[in-house]
Structure 1
Amino acid sequence: MEYFGVFNQVLTLFLLVCAGYAARRSGVIDDAMTTGTCRFLVNCALPALIISSMMVPFSADLLSACGGMLVITGIFYGVSLVIALLLPLLIRAPLAEQGTYAFLLLFSNTGFMGFPVVQTIFGDEGLFYAAIFNLPFNLLVFSVGIILLTRHRGGDEGRFDPVILLNPGIIAVLIGFLIFVIPISLPVAVSGAVTALGSVTTPLSMIVIGAMLARIEPSEIFAGWRVYVVSGARLLLLPLVVWAVLSPFIHDPYLLGIPVVMAAMPAAANAAILAEEYRADTQLASQGVFISTLFCTLTIPFVAVLLV
């Protein structure tokens, strides 16, 4: 494994966040453009990325591999959910912030940052397993994730509108699964367009997060001790717990190593993007993504060296 290869992948994405911050501060982009770009990401680019990641040839071996990894992913999210719900209570987070902290803990940047890091560590074969691992993420982030972000939102506290589950993210998962299982061969031009549209998600998301951070006063970006505790748990506690739970039973380097590496990713960029789209705490979500992405330049290579 190349330590500096992992470091450079992480640093590249962090620099894109800095570029977005500078663009907003200098007036190159404004709040209206940031909000509009968020809507584009949630409703167009992210769904395209989900569908393109599932456009792979169907085979029995592939289906079997999917089953094993999906079981492990279920364990992964079960463990993560317990920590995500308990830690905000332990640090006595205000009620309005608990859902955002839970989202930051439960969902890591598996797609935007996880894929290039896994490819650096495990190669192309590892990337295939990572794509399987990421399938439940797309379903959960657009269902459980939205519920967490909106459950204590201002006057909507305690209310849940099931209509939010009928969103482009979940629809994209269903379409992608049908394309994989039936299977459906899309015309070259269509598949190329979907792949190209999805490919803009990673850089554009990082830039938008930086633009969102520019709304916050510089003195407040690093303010508040709870976000550091949550970021530390996100980057170090969760991968260690996942490794401790899985390692006694799983010895395959892909089935063990990939969940651990994915758990070591910073908070999902979707936190800030979905918070903006669904009128949740965008400032706290952006701050959590920024802080965890900042420190992951050190922690991801550290976890990879120790656990993989």
Structure 2
Amino acid sequence: MDFVTVFDQILLLFLLVLAGYGARRLDVFDDKTTSGLCSLLVKVTLPALIISSMMVPFSPERLTACGEMLVISVVFYAISLVVAWELPRILKAPETERGVYGFILMFSNTAFMGFPVVEAIFGKEALFYTAVFNLPFNLLVFSIGIIMLKWGAAGEKGRFDPKILLNPGIVSVIIGLILFVTSMRPPLPVAGALESLGSLTTPLSMIVVGAMLARINPAEVFAGWRVYAVTGARLLLMPVIVWAVLVPFVHDPYLLGVPVIMAAMPAAAFAAILAEECHTDTKLASQGVFLSTLFCVGTIPFVALLVA
């Protein structure tokens, strides 16, 4: 895939983000509606997309690829954790900000932006690998992620909550794996409904991201130098490191391409949501989400040239 094609696909997604931003600024809908749409994405359309993307013909090769992708995902997050721990210290960030910076570095927007971007670059077949790759995210973001955010917040310490094992993302991957391994298929109307619901994920997720970014005061968006350094690391350093580690050992285009593209995603929208719940620096988290989402329209096409 050439640069212009990749750029056009990413620009299309970014224009959807701008549509959501403008709609929220013009009060087409409010924060309550935004929260409701976010819940709809997390609990309905994204699980439907995951399940429908995993309803592919079974083969031993694909099953082997599942195991390999899980191993690669673990390596990916191990690399991310090291960078998330060390870079804020190198930047001499205040103690109360290190957790937010660490979260931004470790957790990219693999769900809301990752799935549509991977589909735009590699096609729908790659979503199967994306769903498998994304499984550790659901475990780590609500365990290590919360610990990071709470570390400097009023002396609190995060705890692992076993209830996260029942979140819709993990459940949908398990259902998808069962359908894949057993070659079972739901009735045609159910399969059609899953595909239709899943198709809403891309435009709706971009609109929701834009609406969430609209909550930031424009005058505060571009302040501070450390957030730019962390944004640059999030969008360029992370995918280059992941590519350099994997390319000598991984030759399958999906097993290499999906992790690199996921590493190039902007900061997870969860950063702002969880920062607010953890009573830490919500403004800094929102700023990191906004800037990384803004600049990714220019960086993702370049990263895609490494693997597309």
TM-score under structure 2 normalisation?
0.84
5 Å matches for 1:71-82? 71-82=71-82
CA distance in 2, matches of 1:191, 1:277: 36
Residues 15-47 of structure 1 show CA distances to partners (whole Å, capped at 9, x for unaligned) of 222112211211111122222222333333333
Q: Does 1:177 align with 2:174?
A: no
Structure-2 change in CA distance of 1:232 and 1:164 (3 Å)? farther
Query: Take 1:114 and 1:224, find their aligned partners in 2: how far apart are those partners?
Result: 27
Letter in 2 for 1:198: G
Greater shift, 74-83 or 194-203, is seen at: 194-203
Of 216-225 and 278-287, deviating more is: 278-287
User: What's the offset of the Cα at 1:237?
Assistant: 0.7
| 1:162 alignment counterpart | 161
**Equivalent position of 1:62 in the other structure:** 62
Q: Which moved more, 1:236-245 or 1:204-213?
A: 204-213
* Aligned counterpart, 1:93: 93
Corresponding residue pairs, total: 307
Q: Does 1:188 align with 2:188?
A: yes
Distance 2:277 2:183 in 1: 33
Confirm or deny that 1:103 pairs with 2:103: yes
Q: Distance in 1 between matches of 2:135 and 2:35?
A: 27
Inter-partner Cα distance in structure 2 for 1:278 and 1:195: 35
CA 1:69/1:173 → structure 2, altered by over 3 Å: closer, same or farther? closer
Unaligned residue ranges in structure 2 (runs of 5+) = none
Identity of matched residues, %:
64
Paired residue secondary structure (1:157): coil
CA deviation map 1:130-167 (0-9, x unaligned): 44434444444455445544x34855811425155243
Counterpart CA distance in 2 for 1:277 and 1:182 is 40
Instruction: Give the 3 Å change call, closer, same or farther, for CA 142–8 of structure 1 in structure 2.
Output: farther
Q: What SS does the corresponding residue of 2:176 show, helix, strand or coil?
A: helix
Q: Are the counterparts in 2 of residues 209 and 273 from structure 1 also a CA contact under 8 Å?
A: no
Alignment of 1:256-271 (within 5 A): 256-271=256-271
After TM superposition, the score normalised by the length of structure 1 is: 0.84
Is residue 271–residue 289 contact of structure 2 (8 Å, CA) maintained in 1?
Answer: yes
Whether the 8 Å CA contact 2:256–2:307 is kept in 1: the answer is no
Q: Which residues of 2 match residues 24-39 of structure 1 at below 5 A? A: 24-39=24-39
Partners of 2:227 and 2:207 in 1: CA distance: 21
Pair 268,199 (structure 1): closer, same or farther in 2 beyond 3 Å: farther
Distance 2:188 2:277 in 1: 32
Equivalent-residue separation in structure 2 for 1:136 and 1:25 (angstroms)? 35
Partner of 1:227: 227
Q: CA deviation at 1:238?
A: 0.9
* Equivalent position of 2:305 in the other structure: 305
- Aligned residue for 2:284, secondary structure, equals helix
Q: CA RMSD in A?
A: 3.0
In structure 1, distance between residues paired with 2:2 and 2:176: 33
- Is the 1:142–1:167 Cα contact (8 Å) retained in structure 2? no
**TM superposition shift of 1:84:** 1.7
Distance in 2, Cα, partners of 1:50 & 1:125: 11
**AA of the residue aligned to 1:70:** L
1:192 & 1:141 partners in 2: Cα distance?
A: 31
Whole-angstrom CA distance in 2 between matches of 1:235 and 1:5: 19
Cα distance change on mapping 1:189 and 1:21 into 2, 3 Å: same
Q: How far did residue 287 of structure 1 move? A: 2.5
In the alignment, what sits opposite 2:250?
250
Per the alignment, do residues 176 and 147 of structure 1 end up closer, same or farther by CA in structure 2, a change over 3 Å counting? farther
1:7 Cα deviation (Å)? Answer: 0.8
More displaced, 60-69 or 39-48? 39-48
Q: After the TM superposition, which of the residue ranges 203-212 and 169-178 deviates more from structure 2?
A: 169-178
d(CA) in 2 for partners of 1:81 and 1:204?
30
Q: Which moved more, 1:283-292 or 1:128-137?
A: 128-137
